[in-house]
Structure 1
């Protein structure tokens, strides 16, 4: 059944069309199909089109909606879509990758021998782009992600072997790539490297056993005095060896590696290091200092947290004109810190509600400046937390006087396992448990305070306090590496691939920070907007056409802020004789 149109020419030469609902029937004698008119609709120019529309709707209710729409699209001449995948995030990341000189640095570093440098560079970028996605995957799962779920310019597919070979080659040249990328980014973005912020963390590996000591020597290189300066502890050897150590991820049951990161005051990661899982902060800081000194970055002020505050570390950082700003433990055993806190002085307000005062402890040639920082809001929080701890402690020991001496000792042992209780619990000579009121008063003296020490004489007390607060950028980097970029879980075993995996995450963090710095927005928001841009492949009569969608205003704003060009409209055309 179909709508039949017949035409008749009038004497004056005009043509009139008539519409009818017809049905073809085959003549039983001749076998020739003939049209049988079921209903005459009259002249086409006078037909009730609204009635025809209602007829179409009533018929469509009995048909497959998808088939009906497909028929409408085909009738309208719109080619069917054979593939559609997000391209916005990967395309922007690729443009930044090229603009920051990472592609050039990586391609030139891995070139040589029978290595296809261009292919290695594309595979490494694909692994970095996957770290930037909303769902970072393993290297093996990433191969399907590239082939089926995302558009990577210049890479249609890759195998897991391609990934592992690229990681091995990347691991061979990672130091050179880091150096070239840093100077390219520093020159392009005019980075300020007078202050470098350093912090370390650890990450665990999904394996039940640790690695054997390197070369069977129990990592003796960590105790070798390689430069003959007598500072044995300074000779930390960078090596991604999984072993047990103090886990900052609260997974002491799994072997780990220690990772160090240096960032600028803008939060741009300068470099990442990997060390054996039992390397202490005091050892790795020497290697970090020496590595960056080789980059001609020796005359910088290092900003570090309280884990690095040892005299040997401080003097090592002062070599070649360097300096430091370090957090000092308030409740530690340092006599200098106690003297600094005990000095009288007047606070002055700097940024916001932060109050600072500078004190001098001694007048020696190697003297340090101390800055006492006080935050009134933090002081209120500290007081409230201490009051809650003391109240719970009082409840815990309220009826302890009636217990036997043995039971009281057991209770005291249990309470002292909790650091909060242990600070304020005392035992009388007769074995009774009491709240140490003197300890409570001493602790109140530290409310809202933190202590900084520096070797630099040019910075003001306010600059020192603000500089230390910017150490938050390094801590934010760890948070993004572990929760957004998914540094873990990791299953690699070869030290070279462990190092490569960490450095892939560093490149991803570098792209994120550059994008955030230029746009003033978070990567999560940028990615959500960019993922709306798709590359659509359509099957035309002439072949397959790959075309991007229309840019949204938000996407145009991102490209403008990043100073990137508009993506081309057409990305690929495969003629019909070669289309799949």
Structure 2
């Protein structure tokens, strides 16, 4: 007898075959039985193990038997962030505090805190836990694991040398900024904080947050290029008037970047007559200093000021087709006032207002009917409705709907009554879909509008800061730590935006956060065999992950790039 190997459907089988001679004396073969599949751990292996046990012998050990997995650490996303950090030469930031006498590895702590914001944003204590789960590249590994006080001390050093650090950061970003014509976007957001203690110079102040509620917060201003690259930021107390932050930021920007022309684009909160005068004065001062810099701006007009343009808007709108988008201009205080009309936005706002008015009118008529019925002696279930009560409740409903400027409730009369201000309603319909922009540029009106609409990109930058990078809520109480935390998040946003720029250039859509999650699946694994031998390597890098590294213009890691864990 002998073993014969056959194949069927891509699988290999073992058969027990017997040789014999037939009645004519001719040699023949016949299959006695099929032993089963030859896969590792399949039927044949089980049969062999059973026969060995029948002989009283231990089955032969598998090469994988007794293999232990000792450690697994995330590697792919941290590797990508480290290589991007290296390409941007951000280690040069250490020159800002080179004369500091601290013994803390400030640069290593800064790198860890920035990368953690993008990989798995946590508190400073959480950074230490995160470091235990990731494999830092050999050239960026800590010689000694940091502790919580090291991270805090590094933040103190960062704030102590914030000006020098900002100068170095601007030098590193200059190659990415268009020096000849720089369109920059400026906006502010609020960041919530925790704690009730009050300290000298505290930036945690109660103010009106973006949520519409008064809360303890600080304000963060951000300057971003037309390509979406953040180039400057500043921390302000939580009750700072937005308009007051504009000029200092522009002066600081022109001091750090050798721009030849800057077109500032900002939202409604930044427009004030004082700012316009100071921007003009800044332009004159720059010329006096011999700097050939042209300062231009496109600022949105607050809706509360639309009333002073009512007559001009009526005249202008009468010359335009309200069913199509249009952009035109008017003179205003020696400036250009650009007016844009969006018919779809106007239709949506008008429909929303009509629905709100219909609901309020129906409610008012219902209560009027109830009061009239009571006066006629009709009795209904529940407590009677009084005129004063109906007036108070209806006025509250009107205020909740933000319609008090259209629905006029008679608060002084003895009887419940209200009326619709038709003139005001028609005026609001005139403003529906309108955008007003003040500019000193000579660009066509359509181009001015398109540039302003690009401001939405900086708002996405704030969303990244608040969601992916998790800048708040902030639990630090010392002003210097809050400023350092904001700087760490700002540098993280730079890395995020550079990744986005590279991915978009490669034709990839989606947030860098999503693509970092794909790279996070690359792990450094450490295993130990039955005889005690250990080996460390990387999980197989898939073609999709290799393509992602290529689109980011980053090298792919190899096992030698990552230090073996200390077990």
**TM-score category of the 2 structures, normalised to the smaller one:** 0.7 to 0.9
Question: What CA distance in whole angstroms lies between the structure 1 residues aligned with 2:94 and 2:394?
Answer: 63
1:54 CA drift (Å): 2.9
- 1:541-563 per-residue CA deviation (whole Å, 9 max, x = no partner) reads 79654422332222222222222
Residue correspondence of structure 1 range 87-236 to structure 2 within 5 A: 87-104=75-92, 106-115=93-102, 119-133=105-119, 135-151=120-136, 153=138, 154-155=140-141, 157-188=145-176, 194-209=182-197, 211-214=198-201
SS in 1 for 2:494: helix
Structure 1 residues 212 and 126 mapped into 2: Cα distance closer, same or farther (>3 Å)?
closer
Distance 2:534 2:243 in 1: 60
Q: How much does 1:57 deviate?
A: 4.2
> RCO greater where, 1 or 2, for CA within 8 Å and sep 6 or more?
2
Shift of 1:152: 5.4
**2:474 partner SS:** coil
| Contact map agreement 2:136 2:562 (CA 8 A) in 1 | no
Give, in whole Å, the separation in 2 of the partners of 1:527 and 1:413. Answer: 52
The one of 232, 243, 247 equivalent to 1:271 is 232
1:307 is displaced (CA, Å) by 0.9
**Map of 2:36 onto structure 1:** 50
Mark the CA change 1:193 to 1:354 in structure 2 (over 3 Å): closer, same or farther: farther
Q: Which moved more, 1:462-471 or 1:320-329?
A: 320-329
Q: Quick one: distance in 2 between partners of 1:338 and 1:203?
A: 40
Q: How many residues align?
A: 486
- Corresponding position: 1:535 with 2:502: no
1:304 aligns with 2:266: yes
In structure 2, the residue matched to 1:241 is 203
- 1:396-415 mapped onto 2 (5 Å cutoff): 396-401=363-368, 402=371, 404-415=386-397
Mapped partners of 1:101, 1:195: distance in 2: 25
Q: Kindly tell me: are residues 114 and 361 of structure 1, through their superposed partners in 2, closer, same or farther at Cα, counting changes over 3 Å?
A: closer
Report deviation, 1:304: 0.8
Tell me if structure 1 keeps the 8 A contact 2:180–2:260. Answer: no
Say if 2:301 is the partner of 1:328: yes
CA deviation string 1:243-296 (max 9, x = no partner): 1111224452x4211111111111111112101111110111122122112214
Match of 1:26 in 2: none
1:523 is aligned to 512
2:548 pairs with 1:558: yes
Q: 1:464 aligns with which of 445, 448, 452?
A: 448
Map 1:426-505 onto structure 2 (within 5 A): 426-427=408-409, 432-457=417-442, 459-505=443-489
Change (3 A) 1:113 1:357: closer
Residue-by-residue CA offset, 1:372-413 (whole Å, 9 max, x unaligned): 112222122112211211112112211343265423431344
Residue 283 of structure 1 corresponds to 244
1:538 & 1:249 partners in 2: Cα distance?
51
> What is the CA–CA distance in structure 2 between the aligned matches of 1:149 and 1:516, rounded to whole Å?
23
Change (3 A) 1:59 1:481: farther
Q: In the alignment, is residue 360 of structure 1 matched against residue 301 of structure 2?
A: no
Counterpart pick for 1:393 among 342, 346, 360: 360
Q: 1:151 touches 1:535 (CA, 8 Å); kept in 2?
A: no
1:482 Cα deviation after fit: 0.9
Paired with 2:127 and 2:71, the residues of 1 have a C-alpha distance of 19
Paired residue for 1:422?
404
User: Alignment partner for residue 293 of structure 1, among 254, 269, 275?
Assistant: 254
| Aligned-partner Cα distance in 1 for 2:208–2:367 | 35
Q: State the 1:48 CA deviation.
A: 7.7
Distance in 2 (CA, whole Å) between partners of 1:280 and 1:176 is 27
What does residue 491 of structure 2 align with? 507
Q: Match of 1:493, SS?
A: coil
**Structure 1 residues 59 and 408, CA gap change in structure 2 (3 angstroms):** farther
| Residue number among 274, 279, 289 corresponding to 1:317 in the alignment | 279
Classify 1:286/1:60 alpha carbon distance in 2 versus 1 (closer, same or farther; 3 Å): farther
Would the aligned equivalents of 1:146 and 1:152 in 2 still touch at CA under 8 Å? Answer: no
- Tell me if the contact between 1:301 and 1:323 (Cα under 8 Å) persists in the aligned partners: yes
Residues 76-126 of structure 1, C-alpha deviation per residue, up to 9 Å, x if partnerless?
xx964321222111111111112112221x211122243358x32121111
Residues 573 and 344 of structure 1: CA distance in aligned 2, closer, same or farther (over 3 Å): closer
The partner residue of 2:347 within 380, 385, 388 is 380
Per the TM alignment, residue 527 of structure 1 is displaced from its structure 2 partner at its CA by 1.4
Change (3 A) 1:273 1:400: same
Q: Hey, what's the Cα distance between the residues in 2 that align with 1:141 and 1:292?
A: 34
Q: Which string of whole-angstrom CA distances, capped at 9 and with x for unpartnered residues, describes residues 440-487 of structure 1?
A: 222111222211110112x12122111100100111111111111111
Provide the TM-score with structure 1 as the length reference.
Answer: 0.76
1:82 to 70, 75, 86: 70
- The answer to whether the 8 A contact 1:260-1:273 is kept is yes
CA distance in 1, matches of 2:541, 2:176: 27
Are residues 123 and 51 of structure 1, via their aligned partners in 2, closer, same or farther at CA, if it must alter by over 3 Å? closer
1:573 Cα offset (Å): 6.3
1:9 matched to which residue of 2?
A: none
Task: Assess, with a 3 A threshold, how the Cα gap between structure 1 residues 128 and 139 changes in structure 2: closer, same or farther.
Answer: same
- Deviations, residues 23-80 of structure 1 (Å, cap 9, x unaligned): xxxxxxxxxxxxxxxxxxxxxxx9986389537548999xxxxxx9x963445xx964
**Distance (whole Å) between structure 2 residues aligned to residue 51 and residue 379 of structure 1:** 72
Q: For residues 178 and 63 of structure 2, what CA distance do their matches in structure 1 show?
A: 53
- For 1:450 and 1:185, locate their aligned partners in 2 and report how far apart those are by CA, in whole Å: 33
Structure 1 residue matching 2:521: 3-state secondary structure? coil
Q: 2:192–2:218: 8 Å Cα contact kept in structure 1?
A: yes
Residue aligned with 1:317, SS: helix
The alpha carbon displacement at 1:514 in A equals 0.7
Structure 2 partner of 1:22: none
Question: In the aligned structure 1, how far is the partner of 2:436 from the partner of 2:566?
Answer: 68
Q: Which whole-Å CA distance do the structure 2 matches of 1:354 and 1:555 have between them? A: 46
What displacement does 1:355 show? Answer: 2.9
